Chains A and B, each alone.
Chain A
Amino acid sequence: MGAVTAHPALGLEVSHLRVSFDGFVAVADTSFCALPGDSFGIVGESGSGKSTVLRAICGLAPKESGTVRLTGASATGAPGSKAFRRQVQMVFQDPYGSLHPRQTVDRLLAEPLAIHGMPDAEDRIERALDEVGLGQGFRFRYPHQLSGGQRQRIAIARALILEPQILLLDEPTSALDASVQAEILNLLEALRRQRNLTFIMVSHDLAVVTHLCDRLMVMQRGQTVELLAASDLAARRVAEPYTRSLMQASAGFVRKSKPG
């Protein structure tokens, strides 16, 4: 674990991003910036375009217009370049779908290393497994032999093994039980501190986002509704009615007093 060097943190700036699929505008015009070492959250309901923003950042969705660029002292790679692809890594929502079912954990972790030509694969795999709290016993297992939480740890290890500076998290805990969610959130927080990482996290759960992020953006139907600090949300200082309705919804069911 000791050999991990903390790189100077990178930030990410997205300006006027627009993504459309066959004329359907998934993201209309979105701008935000995550400062180096920052943890930035994107909240919205299904179809709001929040995941598409992440996918457009790492090149999995076609950008129609707008720019994505790294910021910070050591920012070099342009989007799509090999350096960018190593520095910006993604963790997907569903750990049941994002791991190759016929590859062992060892092979899953070795592949990104091979792609990026990183040396000492053996050491790195061992270290990555220790870091996510799994240990060497898991190295030659298949995904179906792991629980959901363990799979998500593998997905995080696969992203971190390339020593990225930015981690894109697409609903990393929504497929997990509450107690496992707490473990993964704690792990992510610890890793961020250790490695000086920048997080961009997408979630539909306001409580999870405010727990992990300092600043956040609320999206609805491809539009940015509101940009605010997590502390504002915690203190219920929100301007937009949509954000307010999300906030109320996360508090649970309220029975109307008069039967309707």
Chain B
Amino acid sequence: MNALPLLVVEDLRVAFPGRDGGMVEAVRGVSFTLGRERLGIVGESGSGKSQTGRAILGLTAPEGRVSAARLEFGGVDLLHCPPKQRRALRGGRIAMVLQDPKFSLNPVMTIGAQIMETLRAHTRVSSGEAKKRALAALESVHIDNPERVFRLYPHEVSGGMGQRAMIAMMLIADPDILIADEPTSALDVTVQLQVLAILDALVAERGMGLILVSHDLRLVSSFCDRILVMYAGRVVEELAAGGLAHAKHPYTRGLMACLPQLGASTHPLATLDRQPEWAL
């Protein structure tokens, strides 16, 4: 795809303490590289897809243990760099859009104040300049009346609007990589597509790398250049865009088959017959 990958992940492992005192590995040896492209990570709940995204950002819960043979972003070793440097990267050069704007925006700060806070945490700008850029950011995510939304609190806007505000907030520091963890799952289908179109245009314009984490195989395959399918903490298959029909792994194929489709009647639906060897 390109000579210099933005992000190199090699043998990433994330483990959490289990009830029996041992460690349970949620992510078990994930490796991939990310260039300026759209990469999708798909899997069902518990497959480790979100933990992969969080580990890259350094947002793993404190009791979790992250290890990797290599976890590099633009030449910086993320696992061994000083916390200060990591903090500067987080939100600055690597940003994350979370699932539900209802829970991931600060409820007691106006949307404008939150966006300005992000900007001023990473760049030194005057408050007037910050406000100007926050308004521009809101406009870039297709919000019609940025001045009004700037003054609103998160509970005063709809889900789609909240998610756009979050995207604006994540993009204002001009990151190189955007990790979007189920950015549209809490939204209605028609709004989903609007938000994805906005993300798509922004990624293309700015030449960012995007990691889209989602459970929705069909949506991801229609959006991303490359897809990693995860099962039980491992990548079981890597697919090119539109290559879903040629999926080889029985898990991917099973996942496709169990979705009801418009215009095709299959009664009963195929169910996934999980094989223990998939999790090996």
B-side contacts of A234, CB under 8 Å: 262-265
B248 within 8 A of A: no
A252 within 8 A of B: yes
A-side contacts of B221, CB under 8 Å: 252
For window 3-55 of B, CB contacts with A under 8 Å fall at 44-45
B-side contacts of A178, CB under 8 Å: 44, 215, 217, 255, 258-259
| B189 & A45 in contact (Cβ 8 Å cutoff) | yes
A-side contacts of B260, CB under 8 Å: 182, 185, 207-208, 210-211
| B189 & A249 in contact (Cβ 8 Å cutoff) | yes
For window 142-184 of A, CB contacts with B under 8 Å fall at 148, 177-179, 181-183
A-side contacts of B204, CB under 8 Å: 259
The residue of chain B having its C-beta at the shortest distance from the C-beta of A254 within the complex is: B222
For window 62-107 of B, CB contacts with A under 8 Å fall at none
A246 within 8 A of B: yes
B245 within 8 A of A: no
A-side contacts of B124, CB under 8 Å: none
Q: Mark A234-260, 1 if CB is under 8 A from B, else 0.
A: 111000000001110111111110011
For window 191-242 of B, CB contacts with A under 8 Å fall at 191-193, 196-197, 200-201, 204-205, 215, 217-219, 221-223
B188 to chain A, nearest CB (A): 4
| A247 & B272 in contact (Cβ 8 Å cutoff) | no
Per the CB 8 Å criterion, the residue count for chain A at the interface is 37
Count A-B contacts at CB 8 Å.
Answer: 94
For window 183-222 of A, CB contacts with B under 8 Å fall at 183, 185-186, 189-190, 204-208, 210-211
Q: In the bound complex, what is the Cα–Cα distance between A141 and B173 (angstroms)?
A: 49
The residue of chain A having its C-beta at the shortest distance from the C-beta of B257 within the complex is: A182
Q: In the bound complex, what is the Cα–Cα distance between A210 and B265 (angstroms)?
A: 9
A37 to chain B, nearest CB (A): 16
| B201 & A259 in contact (Cβ 8 Å cutoff) | yes
| A247 & B262 in contact (Cβ 8 Å cutoff) | yes
| A252 & B222 in contact (Cβ 8 Å cutoff) | yes
B268 within 8 A of A: yes
The residue of chain B having its C-beta at the shortest distance from the C-beta of A182 within the complex is: B258
A103 within 8 A of B: no
Given A246-B190, A252-B218, A253-B193: A179 in contact with B258 (beta carbons within 8 A): yes
Q: In the bound complex, what is the Cα–Cα distance between A249 and B193 (angstroms)?
A: 7
B-side contacts of A179, CB under 8 Å: 44, 254-255, 258, 271-272
B261 within 8 A of A: yes
Residue among A46, A179, A189 with the highest chain B CB neighbour number at 10 A: A179
B269 within 8 A of A: yes
| A177 & B215 in contact (Cβ 8 Å cutoff) | yes
The residue of chain B having its C-beta at the shortest distance from the C-beta of A235 within the complex is: B263
B269 to chain A, nearest CB (A): 4
A225 within 8 A of B: no
Q: In the bound complex, what is the Cα–Cα distance between A259 and B207 (angstroms)?
A: 13
Contact of B261 among A45, A186, A207, A247 (CB under 8 A): A207
Contact of A211 among B189, B222, B265 (CB under 8 A): B265
Residue among A181, A185, A253, A259 with the highest chain B CB neighbour number at 10 A: A253
A110 within 8 A of B: no
Q: In the bound complex, what is the Cα–Cα distance between A255 and B203 (angstroms)?
A: 13
A-side contacts of B263, CB under 8 Å: 210, 234-236
A208 to chain B, nearest CB (A): 6
| B188 & A45 in contact (Cβ 8 Å cutoff) | yes
Contact of A46 among B159, B200, B215, B258 (CB under 8 A): B159
Given A183-B271, A246-B190: A260 in contact with B201 (beta carbons within 8 A): yes
Q: In the bound complex, what is the Cα–Cα distance between A179 and B256 (angstroms)?
A: 9
A90 to chain B, nearest CB (A): 22
B-side contacts of A247, CB under 8 Å: 262
B264 to chain A, nearest CB (A): 8
A134 within 8 A of B: no
| B259 & A245 in contact (Cβ 8 Å cutoff) | no
| B192 & A249 in contact (Cβ 8 Å cutoff) | yes
**23 A–B contact pairs at CB < 8 A?**
A45-B191, A148-B45, A177-B215, A178-B258, A179-B44, A182-B260, A182-B271, A186-B269, A189-B268, A205-B189, A207-B262, A210-B262, A210-B263, A211-B265, A234-B262, A234-B263, A234-B264, A249-B190, A251-B262, A252-B221, A253-B200, A255-B200, A259-B205
